[in-house]
Chain A
Amino acid sequence: MTIEQVQSEIQSAIPGAKVEIILNPSPSAQHSLLLDHEHVLAVATYLRDVSELRLDYCSNVTGIDWLPREKSEKVKVKNLVEGVEQEVEEVHKTVVPGYLEVVYHLFSVEKKHGPVILRLRTEDRAAKVHLPSLTPIWRAAEFQEREIFDLYGVIFDGHPDLRRILMWEGFVDHPMRRDYVEPDDYEYEPTPHDHVLQRSREESGRH
């Protein structure tokens, strides 16, 4: 079943579900489906249970942190230049706000096919980082959603046991975020060079 077929199957089975195809231009051509928060549980249950797909195995859940980025588009605009109408190319710059993304890779052990890739996006990177948890559908997602919560800060609503898994309780911040600042824990290295050498000179001057 192609990704377009999966999309139309979902849309006909669950009315109102927004399913957007995110194309993958690389040779692997593993296209994915972007789902909306409201219908994701219904869609996931459908994908797991429908007899043609039977995606019974969630092999991998991963997180991506997208920073706000500038998108530039070239637009041809008609302008009056010295009284003569000319077509001029203008560059329009728009800022795409940042968000956190979670990617689910689904396979079917029964039908021996896959992967079908689902994506979910949060509204932003600060306050609205809630996503519905798919652990009730695929139990395999439990630890991986905990890891994403720990390292990216996505809050999964409906997760049975959402705690940090790699870092300790009381740790502040999420280390896999792109703007994460590491603790300033410079230490001696046997062969310092570049900024490490610079830093070690400063350190030794301080003592």
Chain B
Amino acid sequence: MIDEQLKIELSRQGIFTTTLEELYNWGRKNSVWPLTFGLACCAIEMIATTMARYDLARFGAEVFRPSPRQADLMIVSGTVTKKMAPQVVRLYNQMPEPKYVIAMGACAISGGPFKQGYNVLKGIDRYVPVDVHIPGCPPRPEALIHAFMTLQKKIDGQHLSGADRPRHLNEALPSEFVVPEYGAHDLEPRSNDLVWPLPMSKAVTQG
């Protein structure tokens, strides 16, 4: 690795140094293309974020792709009903790696005000891995921009090699997740154990 001070000194002399990892992550984090995909009122805030006042284009994410094959980011903006959940997971499976998910708003992260309802999924994170959760009902555009910047930081910190390399560089990790099926009363399975291990429930109830 090149010394940080030396790098600064070289740049003063007009010499630009970088690593492949930095260049790769810099390119990726500034061209996160979201999937055109809205589910409820959060989608209105998402649309507002892309418009002139909040201008998501500043982050290189203004190109909403209508096809999952061209998208890098799925913004789950709104209530995911149990009827809709299989389609959401299927869209996620159709996106090529590397792919990311922002769960936007109370409904997408937990079911929100409809948590006790019979037809609302209690958070999309039980079927697909979520990178950034945003609370709020609905979150303001600033919150979505903050989620974007959090995601960009996450992308920037990823290493191309090593044990902690991201999923898309690790062949052992899955890129597709099980699509739930409609059961008699609920979705089957109710959650995917690969992404939803319920880590906190034991800690809270035993503590």
| Chain A residues with a Cβ under 8 A of chain B | 166-173, 175, 180, 182-183, 185, 187-188, 190, 192, 197, 200-201, 203-204, 207
Contact = CB atoms under 8 A, between A and B. Distances in A.
Contacts of A170: 182-184
B119 A190 contact: no
5 contacts: A171-B185, A180-B118, A183-B185, A188-B201, A197-B205
Nearest to B191: A187
B204 interface: yes
Interface in B147-194: 182-186, 190
Contact of B184 (A172, A175, A201): A172
A199 to B, nearest CB: 10
Interface string B45-72: 0000000000000000000000000000
A167 B119 contact: yes
Contacts of B200: 188, 190
Contact of B206 (A168, A187, A197, A204): A204
Interface SS of B by simple majority = loop
Given A167-B119, A185-B190, A200 B201 contact: yes
Contacts of A173: 185
Contacts of A169: 182
Interface residues of B, number: 18
Given A166-B119, A175-B118, A175-B119, A201 B205 contact: yes
Residue among A166, A173, A183, A203 with max Cβ neighbours from chain B (10 Å): A183
Contacts of A204: 201-202, 205-206
Nearest to A180: B118
Contact of A200 (B83, B186, B205): B205
B148 to A, nearest CB: 25
B196 to A, nearest CB: 10
A184 to B, nearest CB: 9
A171 B182 contact: yes
Contacts of A200: 201, 204-205
Contacts of A185: 122, 186, 190
B186 A183 contact: yes
A182 B118 contact: yes
Contacts of B182: 168-171
B202 A207 contact: yes
Contact of B205 (A167, A171, A192): A192
A201 B206 CA distance: 8
B198 interface: yes
Contacts of B185: 171-173, 183
A112 B182 CA distance: 46
Residue among A187, A190, A197 with max Cβ neighbours from chain B (10 Å): A187
Given A172-B185, A188-B204, 15 more contacts: A167-B119, A168-B182, A170-B182, A170-B183, A171-B182, A172-B184, A173-B185, A182-B118, A183-B118, A183-B186, A188-B201, A190-B204, A200-B201, A201-B205, A204-B202
